[in-house]
Structure 1
Amino acid sequence: MEIRVTRDTMSDIYFDALRIRNQVFVKEQGVPYELEVGNALEEASSVHFVLYDDGLAKGTVRLLADLDDKTALIQRMAILKEARGHGYATLLINRLIEFAKENRLNKLELHAQLSAKGLYSKHGFNEVGQVFEEAGIQHIQMERTIH
């Protein structure tokens, strides 16, 4: 098992990330494609993480970092349906936290789907504010300070 990281939106790693996101968000959850991959600047400004098991891409997440502010936004966490329940999301979250420490980030923020809130809570993320709707799905903002 390995997690590959890229900033290159023309790389095979990035295309694997898009394929997973399309499967999970667009096909499974019904998010319009334009919302899922609508902002080319955000895509190009993000760090994309893809988890591979036996050479196959199983999950992805991206990190939109504002390194001047020392805060980064976790976005687009997706695990293929058939790959859920194997701890892949935890591995990706741990890698994001490691990346944040390596890059001296102070805080990670995210908009968690309510169904994933417990996962992030287990990793030290705290709820901030009220439940809101994003792409027709209930979310809650969460954040974690990096030590």
Structure 2
Amino acid sequence: MKVVEAKGAELEEAFQIRREVFVEEQGVPLQDEFDGYDEPGAAARHILVYYEGQPAAAGRLRWLGDTAKLERICVRANLRKFGLGSVVVKSMEQIAQREGFHKAKVHAQTQAQNFYEKLGYRQVSEEFMEDGIPHIIMERTL
């Protein structure tokens, strides 16, 4: 397994995983999945995880005030049993800590609540809809 901060061709691989998971699998409109934070020069950082040499999982990290916001965390469907989602989250948390952040948050799909709870996140909002999918905000101290 290898984790990289995605740039160039690696960034395109991360975007392809996001298209597969969010657009094709979950039905998120393409124009909603990709935004200004995905443009060249944007402040967001992108993570790509390779499993057995193949691009397997991705995530995006942004800074909101004193909080690191973990976003677009996804794993290819056929690779979800290998703990790669946890690798993405922990990798982004490590970057945030190196940058001096002590708090992280995520807009978690409600079906992933238990996944985030196992990683130390706690629910801090009521359920809300985002792109037709139920979400909650979850936070943790880093």
TM-score normalised by the chain length of structure 2: 0.93
Runs of at least 4 residues off by over 3 Å: none
Q: Post-superposition shift, 1:58?
A: 0.4
Q: Residue 48 of structure 1 corresponds to which residue in structure 2? A: 46
Q: Residue 106 of structure 2 corresponds to which residue in structure 1? A: 110
2:66–2:103 CA contact under 8 A, matched in 1: yes
Instruction: Point out where structure 1 has 5 or more consecutive residues left out of the alignment.
Output: none
Aligned-residue sequence identity (percent) comes to 32
How far apart in 2 are the matches of 1:126 and 1:84?
22
Q: Residue 3 of structure 1 corresponds to which residue in structure 2? A: 3
Q: Post-superposition shift, 1:60?
A: 0.3
Residues 1:75 and 2:75 aligned together: no
Question: How many equivalent residue pairs?
Answer: 139
Secondary structure class of the residue paired with 1:130: coil
Secondary structure class of the residue paired with 2:126: strand
- Which segment is superposed worse, 99-108 or 75-84? 99-108
TM-score normalised by the chain length of structure 1: 0.90
Q: Post-superposition shift, 1:70?
A: 2.5
Residues 1:25 and 2:22 aligned together: yes
How far apart in 2 are the matches of 1:145 and 1:84?
26
Q: Post-superposition shift, 1:34?
A: 0.3
How far apart in 2 are the matches of 1:2 and 1:93?
14
- Which segment is superposed worse, 87-96 or 21-30? 87-96
Q: Residue 145 of structure 1 corresponds to which residue in structure 2? A: 141
How far apart in 2 are the matches of 1:135 and 1:75?
14
2:70–2:89 CA contact under 8 A, matched in 1: no
Amino acid at match of 1:97: E
2:47–2:88 CA contact under 8 A, matched in 1: yes
Instruction: Point out where structure 2 has 5 or more consecutive residues left out of the alignment.
Output: none
2:73–2:89 CA contact under 8 A, matched in 1: no
How far apart in 2 are the matches of 1:72 and 1:94?
12
Q: Residue 86 of structure 1 corresponds to which residue in structure 2? A: 82
How far apart in 2 are the matches of 1:96 and 1:119?
16
Residues 1:59 and 2:66 aligned together: no
Matches within 5 A, 1:120-135: 120-135=116-131
How far apart in 1 are the matches of 2:75 and 2:112?
12
Amino acid at match of 2:72: R
